[in-house]
Amino acid sequence: MTEATGTRPFSPFEWMLSLRYLRARRKEGFISVIAGFSFLGIMLGVATLIIVMAVMNGFRKELLDKILGLNGHLLIQPLEKPLTDWEEVAARVAGVKGIRLAAPIVEGQALASSPFNAGGVLIRGIRLMDLEKLPSIANNIKQGTLKGFDEDMGVVIGRRLADQLSLRSGDNITLVAPRGAVTPMGTTPRIKVYKIAAVFEIGMSEYDSAMVFMPLKEAQAYFNRAGDVTAVEIYTDNPDRVDRYRQPVQDGAQRPVFMIDWRQRNATFFNALQVERNVMFLILTLIVLVAALNIVSGLIMLVKDKGQDIAILRTMGATQGAIMRVFLITGASIGVVGTIVGFLLGIVICLNIESIRQFLSWLTNTELFSPELYFLSHLPAQMDSGETTAVVVMALVLSLLATLYPSWRAARLDPVEALCYE
């Protein structure tokens, strides 16, 4: 003779009973409140985790694109003797397969001033033909033009620097270098006035506020470089595989050079970013874990409250497995629905995160995500499908694991003990 409940696992009866327990009556409202908070905890934990990981990914990508768009993937500097043969070296290196650009540069620090303000800048002497091949500069000219950059002996400055000095394209800027002409009284600072040929804005405050581009020949004269350059910046087709270009570039240079790639130059910065990313992931994972523990406490209280119901179901023929599955479905429903809603909420916020930032800035009358602090002028977000999937799977697994113990307790409940005092 078959059992009265002779139903297969996860039958409609079990689903109906599970969902009925989720809709607690008035006298059991406290349990429903706990279930609601568990749902909110899972939802917010998953959404926050997705948003934070997307922002960290976007932050790294944006910084990487801007840093590599302005700085060479490989930098070669002279050894033993000055780089006086820079034209030949740059031409030979540019001919190496996979090398997009080899730009000779002269770098030095100076003080930029105007009648209104002053500030320290990094001057980079570069040829017009090389500057036009840097999309981060050539495609982001906000004022003026690069035309005639070499002939007019003008300079190109960042937008934030122009605002700081209250200057615009066509105005004059004064550059003061500490190492100028050598006189019997010692070295005197070099002071020279230049016309601002163009103003650029790439969206990274560090560069927009401190970079000044100068024609290469003028920079050589300004920094007392007698026909040599500071270094040759090399841009490759694949920055992530920069190691493969080291030996061909070394062979192409045909002289002793010191090479350093972008990973070595920015190692501290990107390592710190990776550590911060991992720590944030760990902290937010703990939030999801706490939400899962709320499911445990809520189900345990539900089992205690439904002890009489469980005993009656057992006496009517319900198996331990059926009872366990009922409460398993109840707890898993909270976790699964919370995870799905959190996933959708995270995607919506990631797609509109800059608009949300601007709204919150307007609402609170404060500047959230300051460019001076975070380097970028907008809040980036880039979702990684693998990471997002891992977050969703982790939340689902934690939610399912949280339901096992309360469900097992419900299945092990002795109907005689539950009914003996009723």
CA distance 251 to 244: 13
The tens-digit pLDDT sequence of the chain (422 residues) is 344 445 566 667 667 766 666 665 555 555 567 777 788 888 888 898 888 888 888 888 877 777 787 888 888 888 878 888 888 888 898 888 888 889 999 998 999 998 888 888 999 999 988 888 888 888 888 888 888 787 777 899 999 999 999 998 888 999 998 876 666 666 677 888 999 999 998 877 788 888 999 999 889 888 888 788 999 999 988 888 888 888 888 888 888 888 888 888 888 877 887 888 888 888 878 888 887 887 787 777 777 766 677 777 767 767 777 777 877 887 788 888 888 999 999 999 888 888 888 887 788 877 666 655 555 667 778 888 888 888 888 888 888 888 888 788 777 776 666 555 55
| pLDDT the model gives residue 155 | 92
Q: CB within 8 A of 321, min separation 6: which ones?
A: 9, 411
Q: Give the residue extent of every domain in the chain.
A: 12-64+269-419, 81-255
Give how far the C-alpha of residue 36 lies from the chain's centroid of Cα atoms, to the nearest Å: 32
Beta-carbon neighbour count of residue 178 at 10 Å?
A: 12
In sequence order, what are the residues at sequence separation of 6 or more whose Cβ sits closer than 8 angstroms to the Cβ of residue 341?
39, 43
Buried b (16+ CB within 10 A) or exposed e, 197-211: bbbbbbbbbbbbbbb
The H or E element spanning position 386 is helix 385-411
Quickly tell me which residue has 């700081």 as its tokens. Answer: 164
Q: How many helices (H) and strands (E) does the chain have?
A: 18, 12
Q: Contact 230/107 with Cβ under 8 angstroms?
A: yes
Paired tokens of 332: 């898993």
Q: Select from 354, 405, 406, 407 the least CA-distant residue to 377.
A: 354
Taking the C-alpha atoms of residue 247 and residue 372, their distance in angstroms, rounded to an integer, is 38
Nearest-10 crossing angle of helices 320-351, 385-411: 150
pLDDT at 375: 57
138: helix, strand or coil: helix
pLDDT at 416: 60
Neighbouring residues of 356: CB distance < 8 A, sequence distance ≥ 6:
349
DSSP-derived pairing of the beta strands 118-126 and 211-215: parallel
pLDDT at res. 13 = 62
Phi/psi for 367 (5° steps) reads -90, 105
Backbone angles phi, psi at 226, to 5 degrees: -80, 75
What does the DSSP assignment read for 143-163?
A: EE-STTHHHHT-EEEEHHHHH
- What is the per-residue pLDDT for 302? 73
Residue position matching structure tokens 């002269």: 106
The angle formed by the CA atoms of residues 414, 415 and 416, to the nearest 5 degrees, is 90
- 61 is written with which tokens? 């990508």
pLDDT at 157: 92
